[in-house]
Amino acid sequence: MSRRALITGITGQDGSYLAEHLLEQGYEVWGLVRGQANPHVSRLRKHIGDVRITTGDLLDQGSLISAVERVQPDEVYNLGAISYVPMSWQQAELTAEVTGMGVLRMLEAIRVVSGISPSRTPGRAQIRFYQASSSEMFGMVRETPQNERTPFHPRSPYGVAKSYGHYITQNYRESYGMFAVSGILFNHESPRRGAEFVTRKVSLGAARIRLGLATELRLGNLDARRDWGYAGDYARAMRLMLAQDAPVDYVIGTGRTQSVRELVDFAFRTAGLDWEDHVVLDEQYTRPAEVDLLCADPKRAREQLGWEPRIGFEALVTMMVESDLRLLSESARPEDEPFSPDHW
Residue 210 to residue 203: CA distance in whole angstroms: 11
What is the Cα–Cα distance from 96 to 188, expressed in whole angstroms? Answer: 22
Q: Residues, the chain, total?
A: 344
What are the two backbone dihedrals, phi and then psi, of residue 44, each rounded to the nearest 5 degrees? -60, -45
Among 16, 134, 135, 163, the active-site one is 163
* 163 among known catalytic residues: yes
Strand stretches in the chain, DSSP E: 4-8, 28-33, 51-55, 75-78, 128-134, 180-185, 188-189, 217-219, 225-226, 229-230, 250-252, 258-259, 279-281
Closest CA to 4 of 100, 25, 317: 25
Give the other-Cβ count within 10 Å of 120's Cβ. Answer: 11
Alpha carbon distance 125, 118 (integer Å): 18
Q: Is the dihedral of CA 92, 98, 99, 104 positive or negative?
A: positive
List, by residue number, the catalytic residues. Answer: 163
